[in-house]
Amino acid sequence: MKKNLRHLFFLSFVFSSFAAIAQQEADHFVYAVTSLKKEGTDWISLRKLNTQTTQFNTIILNGTDKSLPIFDALTTNRLESFINDTISNSNPQLAFGSGVAALAYDKETNRLFYTPMLVDQLRYVDLNTMKIYGVSGQSFGKTGNFQFYAGAISRMVIAPDGYGYTITNDGDHLFRFNTSGNITITDLGAITDAATNKETIHNPCGNAGGDLVADDENNLYLITASNHIFKTNISTRVTQYLGTISGLPQKFTANGAAVDEDGNIIVSSSMYTDSYFSVDPKTWAATPYKPMSETYSSADLANSNVLHTSPASLVKLNTVTSNKIKAYPNPVANNEFNVQFNNLNTGNYSIQLTDEFGSELLHKKIRVNQSSQTEIINISGYDAQGFYLLRVLDESNKTIFTQIMVVER
């Protein structure tokens, strides 16, 4: 009786923990600033990529549409005057100006924040109404003395703390802004290189551009256009150089970055249109990621997903159910469980098992070629009682089934 009660308590704890995690459902999409045409270099169109179907939407917003008014974020009145920049042809009266390379999605407010490359103004698209708002009276400090390779804003992200962040193009300063209420832009101060860095973030030519993603441990990851990776702690503003993304074509420049639902980073290029790439943040190795429709060059990507590096949240469950796959028995009491496939399409699949910290314990490749097929999974080498996450992936590495497996000892 005591053992059964202990098991019931344990199972209750496990499933309540996963239920809390599952409430933070990941985005299955990425917003992209693209050109109007596949080979274009005008970053003025907003599209949406479905990361489950890899299908691009048609244009959601044309940022050069002269009929689109820009409203004041505080008063909601229409803005009639705009900041005059020292760069000609910045077109500040247009929603996207002459182009956008910094985009960030805030799930809480359903707003897309951005800054036109040559206009010193934080703006956002209210995705509920598709109205454009500008934050007047605030700036990133480059008004009247604009230098594109120094103070320009070309990377942006919303972190788990609810604030938006950007690192200036020269890597010198970290800025923060709130995403609701009276929006205020705050200069958090200078960024410093870690003593062990072999590459400096303060390189306005070599490490300009690119994009930012955030993790759940108060860090920002800057992937520069030259494919270098820098990790900056928000509190200390100390930056650690992590290396370079491997596996990218020579002509590929990483200009957009967003975390997908599986914890990998999708990167896009404003110069390379053959493919996007999926980057594994554990190894920083890239593999092709090709949308089903045309691959538009893109200057920035955005969604609300973050990298899960904290042990408390590494197992982030995105439940994927299927009536064609079944895993049993559960709880697992004798070091073995079965994964049964019924009427699944013939093909190659992978069975993956990860622990509560996200570490992969088992990865088994199989071929399904029967209408009913069962694979036996042996876990006798894993001593710990606990909960594990089972995933089944198809040939394109897409998760088609997930289940919590409880292991009793």
What pLDDT band is residue 354 in, cutting at 50, 70 and 90? confident
Each residue of 74-129: pLDDT tens digit? 999 999 887 655 556 678 899 999 899 999 999 999 999 999 988 889 999 999 99
- Beta-sheet pairing, 131-134 with 70-72: parallel
Instruction: Work out the average pLDDT over 393-401.
Output: 88
What does the pLDDT read at residue 134?
96
Specify whether the CB–CB gap between 313 and 385 falls below 8 A: no
Cα dihedral across residues 199, 201, 207, 209: positive or negative: positive
Residue-by-residue DSSP string for 27-39: PSEEEEEE-SSTT
d(CA 227, CA 289): 16
Q: Name the residue among 159, 164, 161, 158 with its Cα closest to residue 177.
A: 164
Question: Residue 294 to residues 21, 47, 57, 62, 159: CA-CA distances in angstroms?
Answer: 35, 12, 10, 18, 30
What does the pLDDT read at residue 357?
60
Specify whether the CB–CB gap between 226 and 243 falls below 8 A: no
Dihedral, CA of residue 99, residue 102, residue 105 and residue 111, to nearest 10: -50
What does the pLDDT read at residue 326?
95
Range name among 82-86, 330-334, 357-361, 390-394 with the lowest pLDDT average: 82-86
Q: Name the residue among 303, 311, 259, 316 with its Cα closest to residue 20.
A: 316
Mean of the per-residue pLDDT values of the chain: 86
Q: Name the residue among 273, 255, 277 with its Cα closest to residue 265.
A: 277
Instruction: Work out the average pLDDT over 247-259.
Output: 96
Specify whether the CB–CB gap between 118 and 148 falls below 8 A: yes
d(CA 66, CA 84): 18
Instruction: Work out the average pLDDT over 139-165.
Output: 76
- As given in the structure block, the two tokens for residue 358 are 């996200």
Percent of the chain whose pLDDT exceeds 90: 59
Strand partners, 279: 265, 286
Q: Where are the alpha helices (DSSP H) in 325-377?
A: none
Range name among 36-40, 135-139, 152-156 with the lowest pLDDT average: 36-40
Each residue of 20-59: pLDDT tens digit? 444 456 889 999 999 887 777 788 999 999 998 888 888 9
Instruction: Work out the average pLDDT over 242-260.
Output: 96
Each residue of 214-236: pLDDT tens digit? 999 999 999 999 999 999 999 99
- Domains of the chain (ranges; CATH) run 2-22+316-407 (2.60.40.1930), 29-302 (2.120.10)
Residue 310 identity: S
Instruction: Work out the average pLDDT over 208-219.
Output: 94
pLDDT at 180 exceeding the cut of 90:
yes
